[in-house]
Every structure is written in structure tokens, then in C-alpha cells.
């Protein structure tokens, strides 16, 4: 049996974000180049009310090709908001670009990964919805 995940919201800037509920968490799939021009839409997407009974947010950033520093301010704000409202934000997958930026900015420990975070390219790994079932 496969997990179903209804898309709750999405936006496209230079990068793309899609939000679903899957496996008891809000799943945010980030792809492409995430620039500062995407920050307003990304903030709106991440700081929206979560469905009842869904406290956590998982980020699948395996498809991110580049990320501007300003995007991390949005991710840190989302993490703080989730923590203040009883939830947590975790990466479930990261591209090499995302991982390098997290470490270069010194925020990797503030935006944690689940223990089995994937660094396998998106085209060679199972969908995030399957990882969360």
C-alpha cells in the first residue's frame, strides 16, 4: 500500500516548493534554485497553519540546485515557529548544494536532519512520500 499525499499549496519562483501532508507530517518539497525573490512566497507557505494533529514539517531539499542565504532566514523562522507551536522542522533529504550552504553559514545544527537523511540524487531515490509512510 502506498501513502497518499494531497498537495496543500505550491509556488514557483526560480525554485519550486510544494506542500503536502504525508506520513503524519507536513512535507515540503523544494527544488531548483531558491533565491531571495522566493522568500515571501516561501515564508507564506511555511508559516501557514498546519492541519490538526500534524505537528511536524519535513523538508525534502534533494532537488535544490542552488540556495541564497536569505532563504535560510525563512527556514530558521519556520523552525522557531514550529517549535513554539509544538512541532519540529527536519530535513529528510538534502542536495549537495543545500548541505554545503547549511554548513558554510553555520546553521546546520539549527536546521537538523532526521537520522537517515538522504544525500542520493532525487532521480535515484524513492519519493519522499514513500519515505514517510
3-state secondary structure 55-113: CEEEEEEEEEEEECHHHHHHHHHHHHHHHHCCCCEEEEEECHHHHHHHHHCCCCCCCCE
pLDDT of res. 133? 34
Q: pTM score > 0.95 for this model?
A: no
Main-chain phi, psi angles of 83, to 5 degrees:
-60, -40
pLDDT of res. 11? 54
**Domains defined for the chain, CATH in brackets:** 7-127 (3.30.750.24)
Summarize pLDDT for 46-99 with one digit per residue, the tens.
888 778 888 899 999 999 999 999 999 999 999 999 999 899 999 999 999 999
125 secondary structure, DSSP code: S
**Of 63-67, 98-102, 116-120, 128-132, where does mean pLDDT reach its minimum?**
128-132
Pairing mode, strands 56-67 and 89-94:
parallel
pLDDT of res. 50? 77
Amino acid at each position: 500500500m502506498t501513502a497518499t499525499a494531497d498537495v496543500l499549496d505550491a509556488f514557483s519562483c526560480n525554485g519550486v516548493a510544494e506542500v503536502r501532508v504525508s506520513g503524519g507530517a507536513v512535507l515540503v518539497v523544494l527544488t531548483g534554485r531558491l533565491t531571495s525573490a522566493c522568500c515571501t512566497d516561501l515564508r507564506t507557505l511555511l508559516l501557514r497553519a498546519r492541519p490538526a494533529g500534524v505537528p511536524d514539517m519535513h523538508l525534502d531539499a534533494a532537488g535544490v540546485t542552488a540556495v541564497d542565504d536569505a532563504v535560510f532566514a525563512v527556514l530558521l523562522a519556520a523552525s522557531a515557529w514550529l517549535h513554539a507551536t509544538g512541532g519540529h522542522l527536519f530535513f529528510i533529504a538534502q542536495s549537495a548544494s543545500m548541505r554545503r550552504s547549511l554548513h558554510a553559514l553555520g546553521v546546520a545544527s539549527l536546521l537538523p536532519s532526521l537520522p537517515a537523511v538522504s544525500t542520493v540524487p532525487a532521480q535515484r531515490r524513492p519519493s519522499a512520500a514513500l519515505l514517510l509512510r
